[in-house]
A and B are shown apart, each in its own frame.
Chain A
């Protein structure tokens, strides 16, 4: 058993090639099934600490499914079954003893469509901290909200509108509000599922800038359909195809000289 595991490790190191940072998330042989249909096939992927990893690939290739494995959001889907091994900070997150709620409180997530709660801007950001009871005093909470909005680059725009509903903001502002909301729970990891797909180019540029700043403090994994975005924001890129991880490596390498023909076809736009 041990031997087998080491073997997979070695294989993986080879595939993950040059790694200058220590990996925070380690996935080994992850299979995902929706009912009888298998969506992911034996994914082995390491995600480095405090860098941006982007997951690219054609629609339906399983990148979002993989992302949702990391904070166990797939548990919400009745028919979804996850097999294999995912470790965060050397802790197996699919171990029966793991408290899923606690796990999710350490991982922020930003969704495809901005989904601010039907509450005020302030309450949106304060939602997580209040929930976990980590902040008890109003002053501390105010400071937390301000800091989170500040880090999401939204404070100057909304500081006079904290009482207004989050849904009254523009699309780009809503998405940054969702990022602020995710930051407010002090996660070590932020997962982003096509965060810019519903936004215009200017709002997209702002989010990308933000991602670049956030990577100093957070481990970010982003699913994206835009190759340019992956190239702009990420240090490492993983290419998925039909539920399999085809190739992973430094972004530059993936886009300049990928090992696999399929990857090259995809990143040059000849396919997908």
Chain B
């Protein structure tokens, strides 16, 4: 298999050098410290890590601007030239040794080749390893994110009590910059945020679930193939509209409309209301429900549908008693996907539901959600260590836990019904 022989040699001559380059990147920093520090004056070292970083960044980014360093007195001219020389030298050495290594490896593996040499199995093994590495990258990233969330959250809880955060009913994260300002300590009760999220999600689902499900039933059971081919892509376009567009649609059209409708029948409606945001969000997630549900209902074997029709059931009875029960696991996961999409949605809420953290179950008042607060906490100039910034991590972690719980719940439901139905 000549192609495998070639592949084998090229893999050997590229993979290990690439791996070494990655390793070098890790050690580059300590190596630079190693060559830079001896040249710095003692006072500079005493000044701390910042100055070392400063010199290093000059070295890496732009050798020519070392003259700035010289003129600012960090380093003498002779030393600077030595440093540059040393740095260039190390680059040449590392580069040429990598090329040499690549050639040697290629040569060695080429020498090993013979007609009967089983390169195919070895290539397979190397590829398997590569795929394994790539799959772990995704997992490790996730784990990394979770850990950073957890550690920042722990820092947050060293400043704000855990129960104050989880069960507190008042949210106003404005900590004062100076001690003597009014309201110098913010309060971080997250309950209003989660009720806000829940309220908007509930409104959105009460729109998306029936509309999505009914259109899925129509598409999969009643529509002629031509109608279906025409309607389904159009419905799916809804999912492709940027949420910002939905956001100003909600803020400028639906919000005022809801308000004037409410006034007409004598209700006080805030300009920015949970109802307006929820309605628009509901429209946005219709395709998540309809498209997935349509897929699972179409996947229900035709023989089941025919069996029911042949027993003298109408189409509607067949849908209700056979198709939906058989497709239930898929429908449930479609709904849960839509819910997690609604919980994570930010833009529409920023624009249409406001920032006021009211603890209310009234969809006509302004509420705010977890994601919106995360955004407002992190927007603008902030001290990274303040409770206000760290609160974003705590909220993020709680949101993560909730969506994770939802997913697990969905999986349990799907698994239970799958056992029963297949």
Contacts and interface: CB of A to CB of B under 8 A. Distances in A.
Interface of A: 71, 73, 76, 78, 101-109, 111, 113, 115, 117-119, 127-128, 131-132, 165, 167, 178, 181-182, 185
Q: Is the interface of B mostly helix, strand, loop or mixed?
A: helix
B422 A101 contact: no
Contacts of A76: 305-306, 309
Interface string B274-286: 0000000000000
B57 to A, nearest CB: 65
Interface in B286-310: 301, 303-310
B421 interface: yes
B361 interface: no
Contacts of B312: 101-106, 128, 131-132, 185
Interface of B: 224-225, 301, 303-314, 317, 321-322, 325-326, 420-422
Top 7 closest pairs, chain A to chain B, by CB: A105-B312, A118-B421, A109-B310, A115-B303, A104-B312, A128-B311, A115-B307
B303 A73 contact: no
Contacts of B326: 117-118
Given A107-B310, A181-B311, 16 more contacts: A73-B306, A76-B309, A78-B224, A101-B312, A101-B314, A104-B311, A117-B308, A117-B321, A118-B304, A118-B322, A118-B325, A118-B421, A131-B313, A165-B420, A165-B421, A167-B422
A111 B308 CA distance: 11
Contact of A104 (B309, B322, B420): B309
B421 A115 contact: no
Nearest to B322: A117
Given A101-B312, A105-B312, A167-B421, A117 B307 contact: yes
Nearest to A104: B312
14 contacts: A73-B306, A73-B309, A76-B306, A109-B306, A111-B303, A115-B301, A117-B304, A117-B322, A118-B420, A118-B421, A127-B311, A131-B313, A165-B421, A185-B311
A106 B310 CA distance: 9
Contacts of A111: 303, 306-307, 310
A165 B326 CA distance: 12
Contacts of B304: 115, 117-118
Nearest to B420: A165
A119 B325 CA distance: 9
A101 B313 contact: yes
A92 B303 CA distance: 27
Contacts of B422: 118, 167
